[in-house]
Amino acid sequence: MRYNHKEIEEKWQKSWDDGNTFKVGNDGKNPKYYVLDMFPYPSGKGLHVGHPKGYVGSDIVSRYKRMRGFDVLHPMGWDAFGLPAERQSHKEGIHPSIVTTRNIETFRKQLQKIGLSYDWDREISTCDEKYYKWTQWIFLKLFERGLAYQAEVAVNWCPALGTVLANEEVKDGVYIETGDPVEKRLMKQWMLKITAYADRLIDDLKLVDWPESVKEMQRNWIGRSEGARVKFEIADTGHNFEVFTTRPDTLFGCTYAVLAPEHPIVRKITTEAQKADVEAYIDRTMKLSEKDRLVHETEKTGVFTGAYAVCPVNNKKVELWIADYVLTSYGTGAVFACPAHDERDHEFAKKFNLPIIEVVKGGENVQEIPYTEDGEHVNSEFLDGLNIVDAKTKIISWLSENNFGKSEINYRLRDWLFSRQRYWGEPIPVIITEDNKVKAVSEKELPITLPYLEDFSATSDGQPPLARAPEWVATIDPETGKPALRETNTMPQWAGSCWYYLRFIDPHNENEAWSPEAEKRWGSVDLYIGGTEHATLHLLYARFWHKVLYDLGVVSSPEPFTKLFNQGMIIARSYKDSRGKYYYPYEVDEKDGQWYSKLSNELLETRLEKMSKSRYNVVTPDEIIEEYGADSLRLYEMFIGPLEDTAIWQTENIQGVRRFLDRTWRLFFNDNGFVETTDTIEDVEFDKLLHKTIKKVTEDIESIHLNTAISQLMILVNEATKFKPIPKEALSVLARLISPFAPHISEEFWSVLGNETSITYAKWPEYDPAKTLDDQVNVAVQVNGKLRHLIDIPRDSVQEYAEKIAKESNKVNMHLEGKTIVKVIFVKNKLLNFVVK
């Protein structure tokens, strides 16, 4: 009997499907474990092998946890609303609902073929009205609490797409998805007050088990900085301005002050003599993006206003400038400058010949380089002698006593711009009444369904696509019976993914978003696996909504995702000619380690790049499954390296894991069917290896080190091939240990061992700790704490024996010679340290 992956995989996938093997109810009695994948946006391109890496990882954990007796919630769904679907529709001339349904079909089929143990009964799609009814419901809750509001704001307007974008979607002045330029415009928009949760979003990071890098990215994004707001008078003008500073302790070192060019008082205080220069400078600045203004490398520019600011601590008059390095959107849009202790101020002072006064000791020569570290304050009257922390406390109380300022915390985080002028999104459930009031629709009216539009482009007068449905827009205010209009903006694509993990716990509930019982049963997500690209977008938005829901009392935990794991990307070789044209692998030839085009013989540039269709380096799971099987695909995806690392895809290496499965198969089957077995394990060493393997695989799955778990299974299989007949117990253990990784073939093993139910709920093997210990151990020998040698001695050897063996070694002896041993420290099975004089 040969290993026929196709037959086996089809058979078991059908059996799982027919038997509802992975279905989990809400009334189970076992402890719960909720494993979630970041659900995909079903793009038109389908999945490549890079996508399921995380899904396979989470599936292994899910299958393992089931065998450990947990009720495992492991669902899948679709992040189906959003701009990409709408763009694909425009391109193909097909309605987004059709495009989306079609893409979902493709994705589902692809995922099912991998043998992922999802409870498909819980499948959800964010564009389904039964789902977005509750997205709208959450919006109403935000609105009731004053957390959703409208404001005239400077927005990121993308002319090419005809919509505004969130700050998080824009980088370096372009939309991150398409590279289309984005400009600033003033528009009335829906905003969500995420800033009200800034502190909790930072503080509660300590409650979660997340990669430190992601936590740090969130902290930086929120950008909490503690400092003070200080008032400066402007001499002889009757005007004043406020600055935000994180270093009020350096006020005695203030030698000039700077306003953002857009600051409202600039034109009022500029002197006649400086007017022309100031106007020219303002004009110039307006043309720059925020990003360009912040770049540190660019040379500092600025213009003197002719006015003087009065430094409140010593009444000194300092020049008041405008410069584009001060942004209007942060703090107060004005700063005082202390060039001795701030890099930007220093550069500016040097360029424009402004004075530099040292107020913190410790630098070499602050005239030449700024000193930004801690030190004793000087030239600062009552602050002299203090360090930064103490000086800050003292100056802040002095400022408030004298009415010059107070302590203040500033955040980089801005409120979340929540409306989009797009079609394929959730309608915002509000109406605008005849007297221009914005009213929430009542919960009973939900969902406000998206009208079907053939033409879903923006209107010619620049209104959002929903304005093309006048019958839908025109409505009645139920309170007054008078005509009203529906909101034509829609929600951004992040809305649906803000709470989908909660809908999975009770996906068919028609009366509530989820029931309190379901929430109690499944609580927050125990393990969340996904890519790092969501660090400051989805993961921040979802935490914000969750906290609002927590305050509403509808969820019982302050954080949605207890543990987060980021899988690494899969990259692959791409081939490109000098004109930038990419080639498929079958269009190239290798000669002496170089790659040439088969057509033109041109030497090609090869590179390891992120897999993508546009780079012609995509491998699909379907082609791999066809040739090698889903179990080989799964094993290879995990064996390729640590799950969190970037990995290089090399299809030729799949042979290796496939051969491993073939070898394992032959442990169970020969030409006549099931092999001959013995009832006991006679070989002591093999028995130990079996127990060590159980321990290693168990611990590796718990800590998500899945590649090393597979290595250990390979060692076990190699040893096992030496036993004919083979102990049946070894086969039983092996089948169960491999099953989370290669579930289809393991079902086959399990059934030939005489079991009639799925291996999914077989009991995970236990190991005997005594059998996992080696008889020999390595003990580190140190002299005065320095490692000199490792000795291999029987486990539990006493100190005397360890000393005797250690002293027989030259490596130890040469450090003891001519010295006196004053003390010996011995830690059994670990360490022997000679303390010598």
Residues that bind ligand ANZ (CB under 6 A): 225, 244-247, 250, 325-327, 330-331, 333, 335-336, 338, 341-342, 410
State how far the Cα of 320 lies from the Cα of 255, in Å rounded to an integer: 10
Nearer to ligand ANZ, 230 or 625 (CB): 230
Nearer to ligand ANZ, 323 or 529 (CB): 323
DSSP string over 294-331? H-SSSPP--EEEEEEEEETTTTEEEEEEE-TTS-TTST
Nearer to ligand ANZ, 357 or 802 (CB): 357
Least Cβ distance, residue 309 to ligand ANZ (angstroms): 13
37/358 with CB nearer ligand ANZ: 358
What whole-number distance in Å separates Cα of residue 518 and Cα of residue 167?
Answer: 35
What are the backbone dihedrals phi and psi of residue 745, each rounded to the nearest 5 degrees, phi first? -65, -35
In terms of CB distance, is 327 or 537 closer to ligand ANZ?
A: 327
Helix %, strand %, coil % for the chain, to 5? 40, 20, 40
Q: CA-CA distance, 664 to 717, in Å (whole number)?
A: 6
Closer of 21 and 410 to ligand ANZ (Cβ): 410
Residue 256 or 330: the one with the smaller Cβ distance to ligand ANZ is: 330
Considering the complex, what minimum distance in angstroms separates the CB of residue 293 from ligand ANZ?
A: 9
**CB distance 448 to 136 below 8 Å:** yes
Residue 537 has which token pair?
Answer: 């977008």
187 pairs with which residues across the strands?
Answer: 153
Q: Tell me the closest approach of the beta carbon of residue 385 to ligand ANZ, in angstroms.
A: 18
Smallest distance, ligand ANZ to C-beta of residue 229, A: 10
Q: For ligand ANZ, which is the closer residue by CB, 326 or 742? A: 326
Cα separation, 704 vs 709, whole angstroms = 9
Report, in Å, the least distance between residue 206 CB and ligand ANZ: 21
Residue 329: CB minimum distance to ligand ANZ, A:
7
DSSP-H helix ranges across 515-618: 516-522, 538-552
Minimum distance from CB of 249 to ligand ANZ (Å)?
Answer: 8
Helix axes 654-668, 743-752, angle to 10 degrees: 10
Q: Minimum CB separation from ligand ANZ for residue 291, in Å?
A: 13
- Least separation in angstroms between residue 191's CB and ligand ANZ is 21
Residue closer to ligand ANZ, measured from CB, 121 or 374: 374
Contact 564, 211 (CB under 8 A): yes
Closest residue by Cα to residue 464 from 435, 494, 491, 432 = 491
- Cβ proximity to ligand ANZ: between 257 and 730 the closer is 257
Q: How far is the CB of 281 from ligand ANZ (least distance, A)?
A: 16
CB of 435 to ligand ANZ, least distance (A): 39
Nearer to ligand ANZ, 90 or 224 (CB): 224
Q: Using the minimum distance from each CB to ligand ANZ, give the nearer residue, 343 or 645.
A: 343
Type of residue at 468: R
> Smallest gap, in angstroms, from Cβ of residue 509 to ligand ANZ?
45
DSSP labels for 396-414? HHHHHHTTSEEEEEE-S--
- Output the furthest CA–CA distance in the chain (Å, rounded): 104
Task: Please report how close the Cβ of residue 300 comes to ligand ANZ at its closest, in angstroms.
Answer: 12
Is-contact 668 10, C-beta < 8 A?
A: no
Under 8 Å between Cβ of 147 and 196: yes
Rg over alpha carbons for the chain, rounded to the nearest Å, is: 33
DSSP state for residue 254 in the 8-state scheme: -
User: CA neighbours within 13 Å on the CB side: how many for 819?
Assistant: 15
Which of 334, 806 has the CB closer to ligand ANZ?
A: 334
CA atoms within a 13 Å half-sphere pointing along the CA-CB vector of 661: 30
Q: Phi/psi at 289 (nearest 5 deg)?
A: -80, 165
Taken in order 578, 579, 583, 589, the sign of the CA dihedral is negative
DSSP labels for 449-490?
A: PPPP-S--SPPTTS--GGGG-HHHHEEE-TTT--EEEE---B
Q: And the tokens for 583?
A: 């080639």
CB 642 within 8 A of CB 570: no
